[in-house]
Amino acid sequence: MTLWNGSYPFYPGANACFPFDTTRAVIVTIFLSILVTSIVILPGIPARGRLFWFLRVVLGLFMGAVLLTVQFTRDWETGWVQANTSYKSFSPVQVNVDVGLHIGLAGVNVTLRGNPVNQINETINYNEHFPWNFGADYDHSYSKGLEKGLPSPILYVAEKFSTQSPCAVHRQYRIAGHYASLTLWLAFCTWLISILFFSMSILLYGGHMLLLTATLILFSLLFFFTVRDTLKCPIQFGPVSLRTDYGESFWLTLVTGLLCLLLGLGIIILNSVQPEKLKLIFSLDKSSKDKVRDKSCLPAEPSCSAQDGLMVPLGELCQVTATQL
């Protein structure tokens, strides 16, 4: 259960489109707030390591935001088709509509948009979500759609993913979504551990955790790829068919996994080949500071307090007078 059920709160009905996902908005707002805070404190960072520090913050926040956001997005696999089809069951009236299918890790969204939106004295602009995550019953959601009297194209597409459908893709998508979601949560945990290691200046272990994060991300993509590759269930609307392809969340997750892989390998290689450059990137090069500190109190300089205390002229010593008893 998400805030406002993950849809825009100002629409009155449940059939509104979903360009505004409140869960995604909350995650993006949190990470943007951290980024703005980092920009505010950026002038306090030493000028020599300011650029590398800012790049580390941006890359770290980007990877964390992606790993959290793709858990709740509904565009791992998307497809659109424009067709002339019946709008209601047992009715010969045809409408010209765009039918969209959006598959996420937790369920399916079916979008129906009229061309134009107002046809047959109705506003054709629907979006319906049918979940299959833990604690959700896909067939029950589909039955509720039948009771509500949803348009025929939505029910037709949703029926393809039900447990009673001859397509038999419900179990595959559901299991693949569960395993992909689990590996992404593990990847988020390993990302947090890598951030902790980097903050403690344990660079080698941080690089290893980034490699583990990349491995988990790529495994989640592999789980989703296997079910996508075996799907052979046509969704036909007259002479045209609805075909799907990988969506933005899939490609964004792939980019994040490759980025973690490259950064992890780069840190491990630099640590073994040129550790001084790696320390410079992470602002751990303190040799210049040590030199300045050593030069500040040399024995030849008269400014040291120890020398000042020892170099006292003999003429200024107090004379002791003796009194005769």
d(CA 47, CA 68): 32
Same domain, 61 and 86: no
Answer yes or no: is 319 within a domain.
Answer: no
Query: Do 27 and 146 lie in a common domain?
Result: no
Domain extent, residue 212, equals: 22-72+171-230+247-276
Cβ atoms of residues 121 and 95 within 8 Å:
no
**Pair 188, 119 in one domain:** no
Count of helices and strands (H, E) across the chain: 10, 7
Using 50, 70 and 90 to split pLDDT, how confident is the model at 165?
A: confident
Helix (H) or strand (E) holding 83: strand 77-86
pLDDT > 70? residue 292: no
What is the model's pLDDT at position 50? 81
Token pair listed for 158? 């949703």
Domains: count for the chain: 2
Against a cut of 0.85, is the pTM above it?
A: no
Q: Is residue 282 situated within a structural domain?
A: no
Helix (H) or strand (E) holding 163: none
Q: First vs last Cα of the chain: how many Å apart?
A: 103
| Tokens matching residue 185 | 């949560």
Predicted confidence band at 231 (pLDDT cuts at 50, 70, 90)? low
Asked if 63 and 196 sit in the same domain, the reply is yes
**53 in Cβ contact with 283 (< 8 Å):** yes
In-domain check, residue 288: no
Same domain, 82 and 127: yes
Nearest of 238, 256, 202, 290 to residue 73 by alpha carbon: 256
Helix, strand or coil, per DSSP, at residue 135: coil
Both 81 and 160 in a single domain? yes
User: How large a percentage of the chain has pLDDT more than 70?
Assistant: 79
Looking at the structure, do residues 68 and 94 belong to the same domain, yes or no?
no
In this structure, the answer to whether residues 51 and 190 fall within a common structural domain is: yes
Residues 90 and 159 reside in one and the same domain: yes
Is 17 part of a structural domain of the chain? no
pLDDT classification of 21: cutoffs 50, 70, 90: low
Q: Determine, yes or no, domain membership for 5.
A: no
Query: What pLDDT does 285 receive?
Result: 62
Question: Of 167, 202, 217, which residue is a domain's last?
Answer: 167
Do both 177 and 38 map to the same domain? yes
Mean pLDDT in residue range 140-147: 91
- Asked, for residue 313, whether it belongs to a domain, the answer is no
Q: Answer yes or no: do 67 and 180 share one domain.
A: yes
Residue 186 lies in a domain: yes
Q: Are 272 and 177 in a shared domain?
A: yes
For residue 321, being part of any structural domain is answered with: no
